[in-house]
Copies of this chain bind each other. A is one copy, B any other.
Amino acid sequence: MNDKEFLENIKNGKMSIDEGLAYLKDFNFKDIDIAKLDFQRKNRRGFPETIFCQGKEDFALVEIFKAFAQRNESVIGTRASKDQYNLVKKALPDAKYNPTARIISLEYENREKIGNIAVCTGGTADLFVAEEAALTAEFFGAKVNRYYDIGVSGIHRMLSKIDEIKKANVIIAIAGMEGALATVLAGLVDKPIIAVPTSVGYGASFKGISALLTMLSTCAEGISVVNIDNGYGAAYASCQINKLIEEE
Of B79, B122, B169, B237, which one neighbours A224 at CB under 8 angstroms? B237
Task: Judge whether B127 and A57 touch: CB under 8 Å.
Answer: yes
Of B149, B186, B216, which one neighbours A203 at CB under 8 angstroms? B216
Q: Which of A9-17, A31-39, A82-90 contacts B (4 or more CB under 8 A)?
A: A31-39
Q: Within residues 114 to 162 of chain A, which ones have a CB less than 8 A from any CB in chain B?
A: 122-125, 127, 146, 148-157
> In whole angstroms, how far apart are the Cα atoms of A199 and B212 in the complex?
17
Task: Judge whether B190 and A46 touch: CB under 8 Å.
Answer: yes
Question: What residue in chain B is nearest A146 (Cβ atoms)?
Answer: B33
Of B41, B123, B213, which one neighbours A213 at CB under 8 angstroms? B213
> In whole angstroms, how far apart are the Cα atoms of A202 and B179 in the complex?
18
On whether A44 and B190 interact (CB within 8 A), knowing A224-B225, A246-B248, A248-B248, the answer reads yes
Q: Contact flags (1/0) for A20-45 with B, using CB distance below 8 Å?
A: 00000000110001111010010011
Question: What residue in chain B is nearest A201 (Cβ atoms)?
Answer: B217
Question: How many whole Å from A62's CB to the nearest CB in chain B?
Answer: 13
The verdict on A47 contacting chain B, using a C-beta distance below 8 Å, is yes
Q: Which residues of B contact A218 (CB under 8 A)?
A: 153, 177-178
The verdict on A180 contacting chain B, using a C-beta distance below 8 Å, is yes
Task: Judge whether B178 and A202 touch: CB under 8 Å.
Answer: no
> In whole angstroms, how far apart are the Cα atoms of A232 and B123 in the complex?
18
The verdict on A73 contacting chain B, using a C-beta distance below 8 Å, is no
Q: Contact flags (1/0) for A215-237 with B, using CB distance below 8 Å?
A: 11111111111111110111011
Task: Judge whether A216 and B221 touch: CB under 8 Å.
Answer: no
> In whole angstroms, how far apart are the Cα atoms of A94 and B148 in the complex?
30
Q: Within residues 78 to 104 of chain A, which ones have a CB less than 8 A from any CB in chain B?
A: 79, 100
Task: Judge whether A149 and B35 touch: CB under 8 Å.
Answer: yes
List 6 extra interface pairs beyond A34-B127, A203-B227, A204-B213, CB under 8 A. Answer: A34-B149, A57-B100, A154-B187, A192-B240, A203-B217, A211-B217
A-B contact pairs, 28 of them (CB 8 A): A34-B149, A36-B150, A36-B154, A44-B188, A45-B190, A52-B219, A122-B219, A151-B219, A152-B184, A153-B221, A169-B244, A177-B219, A178-B179, A192-B237, A197-B203, A203-B217, A204-B213, A204-B227, A206-B213, A210-B213, A210-B214, A210-B217, A212-B216, A221-B233, A223-B226, A224-B225, A224-B234, A246-B248
